[in-house]
Amino acid sequence: MSIEQEVEILRKIPMFAKIEPAKLKLMAFASQRLTFKSGQALFHQGDAGDSAYIIVDGTADVLVNTPDGQLKVATFARNDITGEIAILCDVPRTASVVATSKLITLKITKELFFRMVTDFPDMGVEIMRVLAQRLEHTTAQLMAARAAK
Amino acid sequence: MSIEQEVEILRKIPMFAKIEPAKLKLMAFASQRLTFKSGQALFHQGDAGDSAYIIVDGTADVLVNTPDGQLKVATFARNDITGEIAILCDVPRTASVVATSKLITLKITKELFFRMVTDFPDMGVEIMRVLAQRLEHTTAQLMAARAAK
């Protein structure tokens, strides 16, 4: 795939929509395209986390270890970002993420992630929005779980 | 209180630690200092949300409505930020926040919030960290609530 085609894919991701094509080109060079087969893990809960992943195509499950086995807590699809918690909080991976189809991702190292949100504050705002939405959703699920007891 | 004293207070808040004093001075001018008595609400769940609050001094409870009444889900103290979800996600307040002591806050409008995180990307990164930590904590609580069923 040519850099021009990669830039076109990046431009369709809402998080990058406001970033100039010339800067997206730099990002396409700096990030790594990684493909996973269905059933393959991007990372496992407890791993050290040094990268985030943007899903370019395909789907993945988010699994958390419990005493009764793995519990699916979310599903990710095209344009979603995953793995950002470990690089923001300096903690091991808080969940496993496993491809449930052929999965194409853009792997972004911790260094590139911080460089991008510093250079492109609009991208930082979009990531804040994603985190705030997930926090709202998880809090609602927590309230429902407690009310059901 | 003088602007210089306000700037000194702002500099002690980790989120603003890396911002130049001259810019903090602008922020002290643009934000509004609001004091609440113990028992007074900063906002109620369901309200339209147009501002975030940074706690300068005192404590507050975060309360969520459930069929059995209000449930305390978190406590905030000095240097914490609250109210950012409603302005990031354009949703009504997802919880009530009530002072549990005399509470001094810095009220930051939606416009000022977005201007600050755009002008000072380091502040945006700190807010991402806070959101990621809260998400990790809430997910852990959700797992514990489900495991206890």
Per residue in A129-149, pLDDT (tens digit) is 999 999 998 888 888 887 776
Per residue in A80-104, pLDDT (tens digit) is 999 999 899 889 998 999 999 999 9
- Measure in Å the smallest separation between the Cα of B46 and chain A Cα atoms: 13
Beta bridge partners of B6: none
Looking at chain A, which residue has its C-alpha nearest residue B135? Answer: A135
Q: Which residues of A13-44 are buried (b: 16+ CB within 10 A; e: fewer)?
A: bebbeebeeebbebbbeebeeeebeeeeebbe
Per residue in A104-127, pLDDT (tens digit) is 999 999 999 999 888 888 888 989
Higher pLDDT, B16 or B57: B57
Q: Tell me, what's the pLDDT at A13? A: 81
Instruction: Give the domains, in start order, of chain A with CATH numbers.
Output: 3-110 (2.60.120.10)
Q: Do B64 and A125 touch (CB under 8 A)?
A: no
Q: pLDDT band at B149, cuts 50/70/90? A: low
Q: Do A143 and B71 touch (CB under 8 A)?
A: yes
pLDDT above 70 covers a percentage of chain B that reads 99
**Are B122 and A118 a contacting pair, CB within 8 Å?**
yes
Q: What global pTM score does this model have? A: 0.86
A48 at interface of B, judged by CB pairs closer than 8 A:
no
Class of residue A84 by CB neighbours under 10 A (exposed 0-12, middle 13-18, buried 19+): buried
- Measure in Å the smallest separation between the Cα of B2 and chain A Cα atoms: 31
Chain A residues whose CB is inside 8 A of the B94 CB are: 136, 139-140
Per residue in A32-56, pLDDT (tens digit) is 999 999 999 999 999 999 999 999 9
Cα gap A133→A126, rounded to integer Å: 11
